[in-house]
Amino acid sequence: MILKKKRIVITGGTSGIGYEITKHLHSENELIVIARNAARLTTLMQEFEGIYTFQADLCHSEEVKTVADTIVKQFDSIDVLINNAAIQNTPRYLDDDFSFESISREISLNFTSVCHFSYLFLPALLHKQQAVILNINSGLALAPKTSSAIYCATKGALNIFTQSLRYQLENTNISVQQAILPLVDTAMTMGRGKNKLSTKTAARHIIRGIERNIPDHDIGKVKLLRLLLRLAPSFAHRMLKYA
């Protein structure tokens, strides 16, 4: 699929990787951006003329359904759905600053909202001759680290969900894909890790994966991780454990 003259829905498009994807695609496509921060959405509209923005907190299922229903009613069809929005909480269960309330919020945003949107946007996606659901995933879906247990679990679940949904839709017009990323230099990863992939480079690879119809797109160091998991799985898991 060549990403030109397409109608694209992207979640979390006001910062990080989502912003770079928006920046890359807005001039030749019709973009619909969903995000929580209303002020950032306003700034985005001022920066990129012609995009549509919708405010919703994806941690709340009722807001997810409302915004999806609104978009489907306003737009008769969608070419691409990019499920990008995510959060990562780093405190461990034994840490004093671990928040019980953060568990459901992280699961709802990182995983449940993706399941909801993938269903709620189906009518609009099925209207197209060719359509794509792309889920932004992490190498931590393949091997977890010690901190961020909930984040790792949601990304592991997203990996399996993506594959299963692909089976369900394989005889339709919809291609279900995922981009599996290494550590990317975003606000979420500030102060952690070295030699991070830039958001610009990540966005470029993600877009290339959609255009080349790559089902499970291992990006950057994830290719090495995938190889290590085949050849030396114990070493790979130890390496990620303390990442």
Domain boundaries, the chain: 7-241
Give which of 231, 169, 181, 239 is closest to 206, Cα–Cα.
181
Residues 6+ apart with CB under 8 A from 205: 179, 217, 219, 220
CATH number of 7-241: 3.40.50.720
185: confidence class by pLDDT, cuts 50, 70, 90: confident
pLDDT at 35 over 80: yes
Which helix (H) or strand (E) segment is 47 a member of?
helix 38-47
The catalytically annotated residue of 19, 119, 151, 167 is 151
Length of the chain: 243
- Give backbone dihedrals phi and psi of 140, rounded to 5 degrees, phi first: -70, -10
What's the pLDDT tens digit per position in 46-84?
999 999 999 999 999 999 999 999 999 999 899 999 999
Task: Report the phi/psi class of residue 92: left, alpha or beta, with left for phi > 0 and alpha for psi in -120 to 50.
Answer: beta
What's the whole-number mean pLDDT along residues 199-213? 96
Query: Is 151 considered catalytic here?
Result: yes
> Percent helix, strand and coil across the chain, each rounded to 5?
50, 15, 35
pTM greater than 0.85 (yes/no): yes
Across all residues in the chain, what is the average pLDDT? 95
